[in-house]
């Protein structure tokens, strides 16, 4: 019984750390930066070097979004439900 309690406490600590790292403010700021780089890249004629910087910045931000999704899916208690719902929509 105490093992189950320890596992729940451990899982809650992990969820707190993940939520602290991938907080909403950070993700909104990254979304704003991503949107800005896409808009600026399409509106202005940027140098080749700046285009490369924007491209790598976009890849970096998208990687963070994917990492957030995967980590939160991994630690959630409802992942079986989410995967079943996904399977229903794919059919």
Alpha-carbon torsion, ordered 63, 23, 38, 59, to 10 deg: -10
Which residue range forms the structural domain that includes residue 85? 2-90
Predicted TM-score (pTM) above 0.85: no
* Total number of domains constituting the chain: 1
What is the structure's pLDDT at 85?
Answer: 62
Number of C-alpha atoms within 13 angstroms, CB side, residue 5?
A: 2
What is the structure's pLDDT at 83?
Answer: 64
What is the structure's pLDDT at 7?
Answer: 80
Rounded to whole angstroms, the Cα distance separating 73 from 67 reads 10
The predicted-structure confidence for 51-78, as pLDDT tens digits, reads as follows: 999 999 999 999 999 999 888 888 877 6
The predicted-structure confidence for 6-26, as pLDDT tens digits, reads as follows: 888 888 888 899 989 999 999
**Token pair 């907080």 in the structure block, residue:** 23
């Amino acid at each position: 019984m105490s093992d189950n309690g320890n596992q729940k406490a451990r899982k809650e600590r992990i969820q707190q750390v993940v939520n602290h790292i991938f907080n909403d403010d950070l993700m909104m700021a990254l979304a704003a930066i991503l949107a800005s780089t896409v808009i600026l890249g399409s509106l202005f004629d940027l140098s080749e070097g700046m285009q490369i910087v924007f491209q790598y910045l976009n890849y970096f931000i998208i990687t963070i979004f994917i990492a957030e999704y995967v980590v939160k899916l991994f630690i959630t208690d409802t992942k079986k439900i989410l995967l079943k719902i996904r399977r229903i929509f794919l059919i």
